[in-house]
A and B are shown apart, each in its own frame.
Chain A
Amino acid sequence: MKLIINDEIKTLAVTTVSSLLTVLEQPDKGIAIAVNQAIISRKNWDDFQLSENDQVTLFQAIAGG
Chain B
Amino acid sequence: MEKLSDQEYMRYSSHLLLEDVGEQGQLALRNAKVLIVGVGGLGAPVALYLASAGVGRLYLADDDHVELSNLQRQIIFSQRQLKQEKVSAAKASLTQLNPHIEVTAFAQRLTPKSANNEMLEVFEQVDLVIDCTDNMQTRQTINKLCVMHKIPLIVGAGIRMEGQLISFNAQESDSACYHCLYPFNETTDVNNCGTSGVLGPLVGVIGSLQALEAIKCLTGMPVSSFNRLMRFDGKTLQWQNFSVIKDPECSVCSAN
Q: Chain A residues in contact with chain B, CB under 8 A? A: 27, 29-32, 34, 37-39, 41-43, 57, 59-65
Beta-carbon contacts under 8 Å, B53-110 to A? none
A56 to chain B, nearest CB (A): 12
The interface residues of chain A lying within 8 Å CB-to-CB of B183 are 42
Residues of A contacting B240 in the complex (Cβ-Cβ under 8 angstroms): 37, 57
Q: Determine whether the beta carbon of B180 is less than 8 Å from that of A41.
A: yes
CB nearest neighbor in B for A42? B183
| B interface list, Cβ under 8 A from A | 38, 40-43, 131-136, 139, 156-159, 162, 164, 180-184, 186-189, 191-193, 196, 198, 203, 229, 231, 240-245, 247, 249
Closest to B39 in A: A65
Interface CB pairs A-B, < 8 A, 24: A29-B184, A30-B184, A30-B187, A31-B188, A34-B242, A37-B240, A37-B241, A37-B243, A39-B245, A57-B240, A59-B231, A60-B187, A60-B188, A61-B136, A61-B184, A62-B187, A63-B134, A63-B135, A64-B159, A65-B41, A65-B131, A65-B133, A65-B158, A65-B203
Q: How far does the alpha carbon of A39 sit from the alpha carbon of B253 in the complex, in Å?
A: 17
Bound-state CA distance A42–B245 (Å) is: 12
CA distance A27 to B187 in the complex (A): 12
Q: How many A-B residue pairs have CB under 8 A?
A: 88
Question: In the bound complex, do residue B196 and residue A64 qualify as a contact, i.e. CB atoms below 8 Å apart?
Answer: yes
Q: How far is the CB of B60 from chain A (nearest CB, A)?
A: 14
Name the A residues within 8 Å of B180 (CB-CB).
41
User: Residue of A at shortest CB range from B37?
Assistant: A65
Question: A37 contacts B203, CB within 8 Å?
Answer: no
How far is it, in angstroms, between the C-alpha of A60 and the C-alpha of B231 when the chains are bound?
11
Q: Enumerate chain A residues within 8 angstroms of B181, measured Cβ to Cβ.
A: 32, 39, 61
A23 to B124, CA, bound (A): 47
Check A63–B188 contact: CB distance below 8 A. no
